[in-house]
Structure formats: C-alpha cells, structure tokens
A and B are shown apart, each in its own frame.
Chain A
Amino acid sequence: MTLQKGSTLNLTLGGEQLSAFFPLLQEGVTVPARVGSTLADFLGEQLLLDTDYISSRISTIFMNNRPVDDIKTVLLHEGSVVALSGAMPGLVGATMRSGGYYAALRGGITYTDSDIDTAIRDGIIKLKVYNLLLPELTAPVLKRGVVFCPDDLLAFFRGQDQEFWNGCTDVLLNQSEIDPAELRSDELFNRLSTVTIQVKFR
C-alpha cells in the first residue's frame, strides 16, 4: 500500500511511549493552526488548554526567537515558530518570562507584531515544547495532529525500540487498519508529500 498526499495516520500508544516524542517536540514539529488568530486562541481554543494551565505553567513563550509578553495580542502567521517553556531558573530565565518583572532586561528582542494580518485561515506553524511542559503538552499536541514529511516520520519510526512497538496498537491509515510493522517499511512512505499523525495515549 502507498500513502496518498494529505494522509492521516492514527496511532494508539501506551502512556510510557510519550517520551519517545520529546526530542521531536524539542526540535519543533509542524502543526496545523488558524493563522491570523492570536497565540491565546491557539493555546486555548485550538490546543484546548485550560486558561489556568496556560497562565500558571506556560510561563515562557517565544515567537520567532522573540520572547512574548502578552499572548492575547500576538497573531500567528504562516510558518511562525512558537516555543513554549515552563518557568526558568537564573536571572536570564526570569528575564524571559512572559510579562515578567525583568522583561526590560531583554527589551530589545521582545516580540512586537507589526504586521496587522486579520484574515483568519488554515495554515501551519512550527511548535517547540521544552522542559516541564514536555510531559504535559506532548499528548494534547499529538492528539490534535502533527504534520510530517514522510522521510522524517520513517526515520522516527525506525529509531524506536521494541518497547515502543510493544505498546503500539490500533494503527489506522486513512481510517483503515494496518499492521504496525508497515510503519518501518520504505514502501509505505514512498510516494507521499505529507502525513498528519494523530496519537492517542492509553
């Protein structure tokens, strides 16, 4: 079987397999997003994170390498790079905090949105997740879907150990069940431009 453009792969994995995705999320994954919407909307309405969670746990946020102070005023653009982190130690860690007391110390790089782009439409952004947020946000991000190019996805699957495969059940490609072993075969990924993978953790 070969994958078609825009295919969707649904996996069910054991909770212990969550950490297999941490390196990917640290390096950054491509996720669908409504570009033109605010970062607050992305986190709350699209990733479905609770408002209290966002304000208490996601204390450091970057947009295109620039620290963000107010997620309600920052708009997503096609290809934006958003990075999310928990509270950081050190003066510089405190300096990077969203709206933190020490924001002045990095005043020159604080994110300011000059492009007033209000047309909301479907697009993609790159999302990075760091440190304490990895165990907390990996599941919601993967549940909603992450877009891969087939080579990267194949490399990821080939890098997983037996424990990962033991916990991997219910693999659906475009809603049809396939054997998990096929996820390591060139054949499956041969003629494809993108795959959206959605993962449910037991």
Chain B
Amino acid sequence: MEKIARIDMGAQGGPRVTFEPVGEYAGLGGRATTSIMIAKEVNPLAHALGAENKLVIAPGMLSGSAGAMTGRLSVGCKSPLTGTIKESNAGGQAAQVLARIGYAAIVLEGKPEGDDLYKIIVSAEGIKVEVDNSLKLMDNYPLVEKLRAQYGDKVAYMTIGSAGERMLYAASIACTDPELRPTRHCGRGGVGAVMGSKKVKAIILDDAGMKMRPPKYPDKFRDANRKFVEGLRKHPVTGEGLPAYGTNVLTNVINEAGGYPTRNFRSGTFEGAAKLSGEAQAELEIKRGGTATHGCHRGCVIQCSGIYNDKNGNYLTKQPEYETVWAHGGHCGIDDLDVVAELDFLDDNIGLDTIDMGVAIGVAMDAGIIKFGDGEGAIRLMKEEVAKGTPLGRLLGCGAEITGKVLGVEKVPVVKGQALPAYDPRPIQGIGVTYATTTMGADHTAGYAIATNILKSGGDVDPLKVEGQVELSRNLQIATAAIDSTGMCLFIAFAILDQPETFQAFLDMLNAFYGTELTGDSVVELGKKVLSAERDFNARAGFTKYHDRLPRFFYTDPIAPHNQVFSVSDEEMDQLYNW
C-alpha cells in the first residue's frame, strides 16, 4: 500500500489517472485515510454531488495481510445526505484485493461532462478507465453477473445500482462477497450518489499475480494473529453468539428492554419481535438449506452473516442484519421475515442503505402512503417506485428526512439528515448522546468499539454514574474511529473489551506488521486525530453544537413501556469534544 491513485473524472479529453506516493498519508488506513484526506482536500462548502467533492476508497492498515478480520473497506467523501464528512465502511473482498494490488487509496475526483458511464479496472498492470454505456441503469445483481462474464470470478467488484446512478441520497456502494454477490454495502450517507455523480458505475479490482502483504516481522505477526484468533473464538459473543445468530440476536433483547423503536418510534416494544428475532431467523435459514454462519470476506473468523433462502430453498439474500430487520420490520410494523428478506434483497440490488430506506418507508407509512404492517405495500414501493425512479421513489430513496419533509411528517427520526438506527434513545440515553454528537449523523457504529475500559481514552470514569454517559460516548467514538482505521471489523471489540490479552494481540499485530511500537495511548491518539479532522471539516461546513441534538420529539414525547423522554442536557452534550 505504498501508492495513491487519483482519477480525475472531469479531466479535459477524458478521465486521467495519476499516481503518487502515500506521502503525508503514510501509516494511516481506512477511516483515518479517508477522513484526513477529505478534511484536507475537499472544500467543506462544496456541493456533495459537484466536481469539487472527492470519493476516497481506502483499505485498512492491515487489509491484504494474512491477519484475521482485516477486510473492511472505507469510503469517504462529503455526504449528500448529511452535508457532513462521511466515512462508510463495508466488508466483502474489495479491501483485501485493493490492498494487495498496492493502493493505500483510490481517489475519484472531478466530474465528467456528458452522459457517458464509466468502469474502472484496477490491476497490477495499472488502472484503466473505460466508457461502458451498456451498464446504464442496471441494478447490482444483474450488473455483477454481466461484469463476471467479462472479468471472471477471481476479482472483486464495487458497483452502484440504479439508485447511485440517479444520485439518490441514500444510495450505497456494493462490494462483492466471497461468492461474488453484491451483498456488502458502504451504506450510510449516500456515498453511492457521489460515485454516481462521477459517472463511475463499477470498479473492478484484480489482484492477479499479487501476494499477501508481508509483515515486517512475520513470526511475531503470525504469533499475534494466532492469539488474536484464539481470543475471538473463546469469547461468547464473537465465538458463539454472532456465529450462531448474527447481529439480529439483538431483536429479542432490545425489545425486552423497551428500546425497540416500533411504528416510527411510537412504542419501545413490538408484539411481533419474536417472529423477527435472530433465533427465528437462524432456524429458518438452516431449515431452508441456507446457513446462519457465513463470513463476508475471506479471513473473517467470527462469521456473523448467513445465507437466507426463500420458501423453495433458493437463494434470496444474505442474512439481513439487525438494523435492517428492524428498519424494514418493527419500524414499519412488519413481522414477516420473508418480507424483510425481500426488502433487503431489493435494497442491495437497487443499491440503497437499508437503514435510511427502511426508516423512510416507515415515515411514509406515518404519512398514510401505505399502512403500518403492509409488507406487500412496502415491497411495491421498492419495486414500482424506487427501482423505477418515479418521483415518489426518488424521494423515498433520498432517505427519511427528505421523505418526512415532502410528506409533512412531524416526527422524523434523523440527526444531521441521517436516519437513526434500531435503538430508541429515550430508554437507552447513552446511545442518544452518540447519535446526536457523532460527526457522521445518527450512526450506531460510531460508538461501537466497546474497548474503552482498556483504552481509557478519556481518563477513568465511573460508568455506573449517569453523568458518565458523555465521557463514555466520547471514549467509544474515539475507539471506534481508531478501529475503523485498521480495517478490522468492529465486532472484534467484544473480545477486546473482556480479554486484555486479545487487545494486546491486536496491538502486537499492528506492531509486527509495521515495525512500530504502538500502545493503547497511540490508538487513542489516532482516534482523536481522525475525529478532530472530521469535526473540523464539519465546523467549516457550517455545523455547530446546535446540530448535535436529537429531533425535538425525543425530548417531549415519552415512550412506552418506560415512559421516558431523552433528558441528557445540552450543556453535557456540548462537553463531548472537550479533550
């Protein structure tokens, strides 16, 4: 990963590719690379779909190595959905392949004139940018099939569906999984619309002839990786819960806690939750000849994903995640896993963020477009409106905020324009702090890296005191920014939280690979550096502390069963970035 490729899509005479050494971006990866580059190089006042915006695609620090769990790919830009900086990451094979070809980042710049659509082929021989108008308005599954006929099965594909081409604000970028299905999405923030604005339909990553990235100290790296994998395997979450049920194991528990937002955040419990649960989903998957345990990229040892077959035993989609099952399920009053799975497939195929899309449909239900619980209606909206690019479909595909505004809905669950994920911040107030203050808009993964007790990134706090919530949220966001930079899947955080030796193995992997002497403190510093760059970009884009707030109804409308409102004070929230 010693070079950066810049592709100026708007260059005179057609797209122009230039190469440069990593330079000032050396030693970074993933989110650190995308966010620091965007903060430095993009005018924060630029229009997200304009020529001034850039789309940075970066593998993690350890991607392309033999290290376990290292296959997350970060994509960064100014977000059309939120207007803030955005980093959106996904699994799939792309990060591993891109890193092995040797790129620390591929940067799409400028914007071409005219209607031509492009594909980019990245290989050891170099980078080719070709016009291919035969791909126009194709959705992801048929698109990848068509590309496979030409480029084969030994490559990784990054694509946008019709939503990205139409520049819908909830459009995603799909990355293919080991079976070459476009199931892994950089979903949040409309990154697919930015790729669409640059008229890039597909990126084909071909690492033929390239080897795994070698560590500086191979023996130490192998040893650390072995201990790291052992740690993941022995922990009940990463070794048992996630492999058996995936993230959807949360449905029953969050519902039990009264924190499962139901029918557009009107209640904290859903009577149909057991039917949507990870337990029910895993049983159905196995019964229909799919699987409840599957990795989104080679080298994943947790394998939180699965294969969801239809009633006839034919592949329908990958195992929908908890947030997807919630957004298309409980949020819309739908309790049928087959309906949710079909909507998940449609999101992946059209190329949309499952959270913003599901929340937008729920908001449309609140507006009376269809009724809560109408699964067939939700599928019809996706197939007949969003996929066809009708005016209603385009507004739904632009996410919950725009849908709510156009349809006159008062209670629209978004922060900085991005839909809230599957936890109600009224009973679980600490989550609300993170939703409100993250640099990305409401984002559950912003505070996912639950390793802060070891990192102690904000100093020691007493987590059993309610006042500890802001400190905890701060620490979580710092730790998450750091892990997002390594290319490691965030789910490693559980083993790191409980097992100091697994955290040490994680640090040892980084140090053996790069020949560095990183400590927990260095990880904290990296996280702070990333968050500071993001925060600085947002400030220059016009965001103030007053944007770090939840929608008003969370402060005024209590929710059953706990009948609580969100009550963390503005003053407390404003302390989050004081470090």
Given A93-B250, A102-B472, the answer on whether A109 and B427 have CB atoms closer than 8 Å is: yes
Quick one: closest A residue to B275, CB to CB? A23
Residues in chain B near residue A95, CB distance under 8 A: 428, 430-431
Given A94-B494, A104-B468, A106-B427, the answer on whether A60 and B253 have CB atoms closer than 8 Å is: yes
Within 8 A of B (CB), among A82-103: 83, 85-96, 101-103
CB atoms of B236 and A103 under 8 A apart: no
CB atoms of A134 and B463 under 8 A apart: no
Tell whether B22 is near chain A: CB-to-CB under 8 Å. Answer: no
Instruction: Tell which of A112-120, A124-132, A168-176 binds the partner.
Output: A124-132
Tell whether B290 is near chain A: CB-to-CB under 8 Å. Answer: no
Residues in chain A near residue B464, CB distance under 8 A: 103-104, 107
CB atoms of A131 and B466 under 8 A apart: no
Q: How many A-B contacts if CB must be within 8 Å?
A: 154
Tell whether A38 is near chain B: CB-to-CB under 8 Å. Answer: no
Given A101-B463, A132-B241, the answer on whether A92 and B428 have CB atoms closer than 8 Å is: yes
Residues in chain B near residue A92, CB distance under 8 A: 250, 254, 259, 423, 428, 431, 444
Tell whether B247 is near chain A: CB-to-CB under 8 Å. Answer: yes
What sequence of 0s and 1s flags, for each residue 128-141 of chain A, a beta carbon within 8 Å of any chain B beta carbon?
10111010000000
Residues in chain B near residue A66, CB distance under 8 A: 257, 562
CB atoms of A57 and B236 under 8 A apart: yes
CB atoms of A101 and B564 under 8 A apart: no
A172–B430 alpha-carbon span in the complex (Å): 52
Q: List 17 A-B contacts (CB under 8 A).
A: A19-B283, A65-B257, A65-B258, A65-B269, A65-B562, A67-B257, A87-B494, A88-B237, A89-B241, A89-B249, A89-B304, A91-B450, A92-B431, A105-B430, A106-B428, A107-B465, A131-B279
Tell whether A189 is near chain B: CB-to-CB under 8 Å. Answer: no
CB atoms of A105 and B491 under 8 A apart: no
CB atoms of B465 and A104 under 8 A apart: yes
Given A105-B430, A109-B427, A131-B245, the answer on whether A87 and B252 have CB atoms closer than 8 Å is: no
Quick one: closest A residue to B468, CB to CB? A104
Tell whether B64 is near chain A: CB-to-CB under 8 Å. Answer: no
CB atoms of A109 and B476 under 8 A apart: no
CB atoms of A89 and B491 under 8 A apart: yes
A95–B452 alpha-carbon span in the complex (Å): 13
A95–B428 alpha-carbon span in the complex (Å): 9
A180–B304 alpha-carbon span in the complex (Å): 40
Partner of A86 from B236, B469, B562 at Cβ < 8 Å: B236
CB atoms of B469 and A107 under 8 A apart: yes
Could you list 17 further interchain pairs (A-B, Cβ under 8 angstroms) beyond the known A92-B423, A96-B253, A109-B562? A22-B283, A23-B280, A59-B236, A88-B237, A88-B241, A89-B249, A89-B494, A90-B247, A90-B444, A91-B450, A102-B450, A103-B463, A106-B259, A107-B464, A107-B466, A108-B564, A130-B277
